[in-house]
Homo-oligomer: A and B are copies of this chain.
Amino acid sequence: MDFRDILKDLVKRVDGAKAAVLMGYDGISIDEYKREGTDIDIQLIGIEYSGIIKEMKRTSEVLEGGDVAEVSVITGNGIVVIRAVSDDYFIMINLDIDGNLGKARYLMKMSVPKLKEQL
């Protein structure tokens, strides 16, 4: 399974998932997968959130909270879930507002070892 297959598997298995991306905290993506017919700009969303996650990592350090493992954000019209893969990379998935957040979190966690193997 290459990166795209893992991202595709995630998107296909989570109800309401629109797209997923594997990206560096520097905002440069390695790979992405979008569900057919989705016009979401997952790159742009990833870039915007990568800055926030970097800030969170800094905050967690200040607070001695340990590494940031996962972040979920629910906005007025969607859900974003981010999971750290390594010190340099994270995966992000974008769901409809009524998407299955629990399953997304579970499957993302499960996918980390597979992604790590190939980084």
Contact = CB atoms under 8 A, between A and B. Distances in A.
A45 interface: yes
Q: How large is the interface on A (under 10, 10 to 19, 20 to 34, 35 or more residues)?
A: 20 to 34
Contacts of A45: 63
Contact of A66 (B65, B68, B72, B77): B77
A1 interface: no
Contacts of A55: 51-52, 55
A67 interface: yes
Contacts of A44: 63
Contact of A74 (B51, B59, B70, B74): B70
B52 A48 contact: no
Contacts of A78: 65-66
Interface in A63-83: 63, 65-78
Contacts of A119: none
Interface of A: 44-45, 48-49, 51-52, 55-56, 59-60, 62-63, 65-78, 102
